């Protein structure tokens, strides 16, 4: 095998691996990557045959000129931004360069192209599996660089002999790879944080995105259904304080809608920014929170901030929040990464929409109300108090209609009227929309609300997982003397429900726990977390120092203990003494460091000798039994003393002393088999002494 062939094969395998995450991230389509990989595989096959002729420089230039109009069309005709056309260009340029490697410098130019694709793949990836890709690419890169250097040295001596090109690399790769991991973890923890480290493409880097169609400015009667089909995590919720109840039911309000027109709802207008109090605390209601929860919201392609309906106080990491006329809270922007916020919960639902005292009031808009709908509402609601009439309507819809996702053959002329009088089945938005229009027809202000209902309890760390299939729609109605109240006319069969237990469910929850830690301590790891780590280490050191000097541990200051408290179980937990909440990267780094130190100790410690074993037994005998054995006591006296005090250890102690006499006085070095027998005798003797006390 010639040196040129080896170099092409190494570069080919590295080029084949480099763009692998791109289609999973949604940045480059699978057809483009498939064409590129087919070209690289053809290169590998051709390089294995080691032909004498490759693509000349003029051929490479001609292909470059041909691709210029393709690049312009890709950039200008298809409105997909700049990232995708540039990556298409990079794939094409690298593939052409691989077929044109002739001179020594060509391989370094191709290596730069491979590295560019690697950076693009890493910069658009946020899934934990990217760690495997990173390790594989690192190992293959080390092989390539080592082989290139070795082949360059051989070629410099004029020794282009394939038989000399084989060098052992396993030990070197293991050592360098382990050192790289050990160095990367502390650097990750200590280096300054960059808030937007990822190249923004079409995807989210995880292979799947949750489109928040049910929380946009305008929704149709099937928007929630589109979200319901997703098992992607929308957010995670962890209660603070006493242990969370797995049976608790959550209802998260995300958006409210006032105006209905031909099967579509238009979102309530944003009222104003919420007033801040005490730094970054926003108060929705004067009610005092009775307990707190922390929420980690995944990017939903929406500005909505889903909040439990009991929320009285919000503590986000953003300087501003907005609220609409229906009381739904939103960010001033659409987040591109996990958003974390803390909420204070009252004892009951806190519904803070605008009181319907305007004329005309959007909550009494009669658009979409037909005479048949109004007549049915009057018949069902009858003559009673407003709360009783609303409850009658809710029970009527729940008991008289069925939940379904089958809408085949239905017309879109008047979907609500068809739902009420013809099909008598639909999904949650049909039930909620019908109740809103029927309440308005009888003079009761009402609006449509979308959000999430329920959550899956994860026992690994005591938090709730709210997924896309927890999306739901319900009704808020204004009742005189009671204010805004929640009504949910969807039958129980159509409401989100927790799935059954089982081994597969437990595996899913364990994987979500890994994703949660990855999101929290890798993707959104920030300055506050670094401060928390150093504060925890300082507290641990102070605790150790105070115990060493038998002093009382000083009480940590409030500011230090609360800084960066943003992980699972970090805030609101009981002030117990002990180890701080160590993030996953730090825990992994310390574990790997301890393992490396232990392996290094095992490798560098001197081999066991009979003299060392004898002295070890002698020290144990003096320390445990208090035997009066002067330094001048001969080995036979030590054996008699051990047999008298520890009869169970007499026989193995005698064997250790026999090995010692042979080694020290007979001048005979022990063989490998005898060293193993010495270790066994020493372990048996020490075990016998321990059992005897």
For the chain, the structural domain boundaries read 3-190, 213-365+445-503, 525-564+574-603, 607-691
- Tokens (6 digits) for 67: 């691709």
pLDDT tens by residue, 4-58:
788 888 899 999 999 988 888 778 888 999 999 999 999 999 988 888 888 888 8
- Closest by alpha carbon to 208, among 451, 26, 467? 26
pLDDT tens by residue, 636-692:
888 888 888 888 888 888 888 888 888 777 767 777 778 888 888 888 888 888 777
Q: Is 322 a residue whose pLDDT tops 80?
A: yes
Mapping DSSP to helix (H, G, I), strand (E, B) and coil, where does residue 162 land? helix
Report in angstroms the alpha-carbon separations of 524 from 120, 199, 357: 20, 15, 44
pLDDT tens by residue, 250-259:
899 999 998 8
Mean pLDDT over residues 526-554, rounded?
70
Q: Is 560 a residue whose pLDDT tops 50?
A: no
Report in angstroms the alpha-carbon separations of 66 from 60, 62, 70, 92: 10, 6, 8, 11
The 8-class DSSP code of residue 520 comes to I
**Whose structure tokens read 């204010």?**
483
Q: pLDDT higher for 599 or 581?
A: 599
Per-residue pLDDT band for 400 (boundaries 50, 70, 90) equals very high
Per-residue pLDDT band for 372 (boundaries 50, 70, 90) equals very high
Rounded to 5°, angle at Cα 16 from 15 and 21 = 100
pLDDT tens by residue, 146-167:
887 777 777 766 655 555 556 6
Strands 281-283 and 218-220: unpaired
- Closest by alpha carbon to 193, among 436, 456, 508, 532? 532
**pLDDT value at residue 589:** 61
228-237, 316-325, 455-464, 598-607: least confidently modelled range: 598-607
Q: Is 275 a residue whose pLDDT tops 70?
A: no
199-213, 296-310, 364-378: least confidently modelled range: 199-213
Residues of the chain with pLDDT > 90, as a percent, come to 20
**Whose structure tokens read 């591109």?**
336
Say what the alpha-carbon torsion angle 454, 458, 462, 466 is, to the nearest 10 degrees. Answer: -30
**pLDDT value at residue 394:** 94
**Whose structure tokens read 């980690």?**
296
**pLDDT value at residue 571:** 40
102-106, 130-134, 378-382, 576-580: least confidently modelled range: 576-580
pLDDT tens by residue, 618-637:
887 777 655 566 776 788 88
Per-residue pLDDT band for 613 (boundaries 50, 70, 90) equals confident
Per-residue pLDDT band for 276 (boundaries 50, 70, 90) equals low
Mean pLDDT over residues 103-122, rounded?
88
- Tokens (6 digits) for 497: 């429900």
**pLDDT value at residue 201:** 41
**pLDDT value at residue 456:** 84
What residues pair up with 233 in beta bridges, in sequence order? 467
Mean pLDDT over residues 279-292, rounded?
85
Strands 402-403 and 425-426: parallel
Q: pLDDT higher for 422 or 584?
A: 422
Q: How far is the C-alpha of 557 from the C-alpha of 32, rounded, in Å?
A: 57
- Average model confidence (pLDDT) for the chain? 79
**pLDDT value at residue 649:** 81
* DSSP H helices in 347-487: 371-381, 386-400, 415-418, 428-441
Q: Is 168 a residue whose pLDDT tops 80?
A: no
CA atoms within 13 Å, Cβ hemisphere of 67: 17
Strand residue runs (E) in 207-305: 218-220, 233-239, 251-261, 264-267, 270-273, 276-277, 281-283, 291-297
Per-residue pLDDT band for 202 (boundaries 50, 70, 90) equals very low
- Tokens (6 digits) for 411: 């017309």
Q: How far is the C-alpha of 224 from the C-alpha of 428, rounded, in Å?
A: 8
Report in angstroms the alpha-carbon separations of 350 from 5, 144, 284, 486: 72, 62, 8, 10
Give per-residue burial for 181-208: e unless 16+ CB within 10 Å, then b: beeebeeebeeeeeeeebbebebbbbbe
Give per-residue burial for 341-356: e unless 16+ CB within 10 Å, then b: bbbbbbeebbbbbbeb
Q: Is 409 a residue whose pLDDT tops 80?
A: no
203-207, 270-274, 407-411, 584-588: least confidently modelled range: 203-207
- Structure pTM? 0.60
**Whose structure tokens read 């929409």?**
353
């Amino acid at each position: 095998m010639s040196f040129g062939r080896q170099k092409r094969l190494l570069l080919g395998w590295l080029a084949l691996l480099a763009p692998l995450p791109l289609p999973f991230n949604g940045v480059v389509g699978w057809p483009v990557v498939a064409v590129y990989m087919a070209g690289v595989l053809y290169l590998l096959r051709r390089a294995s045959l080691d032909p004498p002729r490759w693509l000349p420089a003029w051929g490479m230039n001609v292909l470059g000129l041909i691709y210029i109009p393709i690049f312009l069309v890709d950039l200008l005709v298809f409105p997909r931004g700049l990232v995708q056309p540039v990556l298409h260009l990079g794939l094409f340029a690298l593939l052409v360069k691989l077929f044109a490697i002739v001179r020594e410098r060509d391989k370094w130019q191709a290596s730069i192209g491979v590295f560019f694709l690697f950076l693009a793949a890493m910069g658009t990836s946020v899934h934990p599996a990217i760690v495997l890709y990173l390790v594989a690419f690192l190992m293959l890169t080390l092989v390539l660089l080592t082989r290139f250097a070795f082949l360059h040295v051989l070629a410099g001596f004029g020794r282009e002999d394939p038989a000399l090109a084989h060098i052992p690399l396993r030990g070197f790769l293991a050592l360098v790879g382990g050192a790289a991991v050990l160095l990367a973890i502390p650097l990750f923890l200590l280096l300054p944080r960059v808030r937007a480290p990822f190249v923004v493409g079409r995807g989210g880097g995880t292979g799947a995105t949750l489109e928040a169609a049910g929380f946009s400015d305008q929704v149709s009667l099937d928007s929630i259904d589109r979200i319901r089909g997703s098992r992607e995590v929308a957010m995670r919720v962890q209660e603070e304080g006493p242990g969370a109840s797995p049976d608790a039911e959550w209802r998260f309000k995300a958006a409210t809608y006032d105006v209905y027109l031909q099967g579509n709802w238009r979102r309530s207008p944003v009222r104003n920014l919420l007033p801040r109090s005490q730094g970054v605390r926003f108060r929705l209601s004067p009610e005092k929170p009775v307990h707190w929860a922390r929420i980690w919201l995944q990017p939903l392609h929406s500005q909505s901030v889903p909040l439990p309906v009991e929320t009285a106080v919000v503590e986000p990491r953003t300087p501003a929040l907005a609220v609409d006329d229906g009381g739904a809270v939103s960010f001033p922007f659409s987040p591109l990464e996990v958003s974390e916020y803390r909420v204070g919960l009252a004892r009951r639902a806190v519904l803070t929409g605008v009181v319907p005292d305007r004329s005309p009031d959007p909550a009494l808009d009669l658009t979409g109300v037909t005479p048949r709908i109004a007549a049915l509402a009057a018949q069902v609601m009858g003559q009673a108090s407003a709360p009783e009439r609303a409850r009658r309507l809710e029970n009527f819809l729940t008991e008289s209609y069925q939940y379904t996702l089958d809408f085949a053959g239905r017309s879109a002329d008047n979907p609500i009227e068809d739902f009420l009088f013809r099909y008598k089945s639909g999904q949650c938005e049909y039930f909620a929309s019908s109740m809103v229009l029927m309440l308005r027809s009888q003079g009761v202000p009402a609006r449509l609300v979308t959000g999430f209902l329920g959550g899956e309890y994860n026992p690994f760390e005591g938090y709730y997982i709210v997924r896309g299939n927890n999306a739901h729609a319900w009704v808020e109605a204004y009742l005189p003397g009671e204010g805004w109240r929640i009504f949910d006319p969807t039958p129980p069969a159509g409401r989100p429900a927790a799935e059954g237990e089982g081994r597969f469910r437990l595996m899913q929850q364990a994987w979500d726990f890994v994703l949660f830690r990855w999101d929290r301590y890798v993707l959104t790891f920030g300055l506050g977390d670094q401060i928390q780590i150093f504060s925890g280490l300082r507290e641990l050191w102070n605790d150790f120092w105070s115990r060493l000097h038998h002093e009382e541990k000083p009480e940590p200051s409030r500011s230090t203990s609360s800084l960066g408290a943003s992980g699972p179980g970090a805030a609101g937990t009981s002030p117990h003494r002990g180890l701080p909440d160590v993030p996953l990267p730090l825990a992994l780094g310390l574990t790997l460091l301890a393992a490396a130190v232990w392996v290094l100790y095992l490798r560098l410690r001197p081999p066991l000798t009979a003299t060392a074993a004898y002295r070890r037994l002698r020290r144990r005998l003096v320390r445990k039994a208090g035997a009066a054995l002067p330094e001048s006591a001969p080995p036979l006296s030590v054996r008699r003393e051990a047999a008298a005090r520890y009869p169970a250890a007499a026989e193995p102690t005698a064997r250790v002393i026999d090995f010692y006499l042979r080694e020290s006085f007979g001048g005979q070095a022990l063989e490998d088999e005898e060293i193993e027998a010495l270790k066994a005798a020493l372990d048996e003797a020490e075990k016998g002494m321990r059992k005897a006390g």
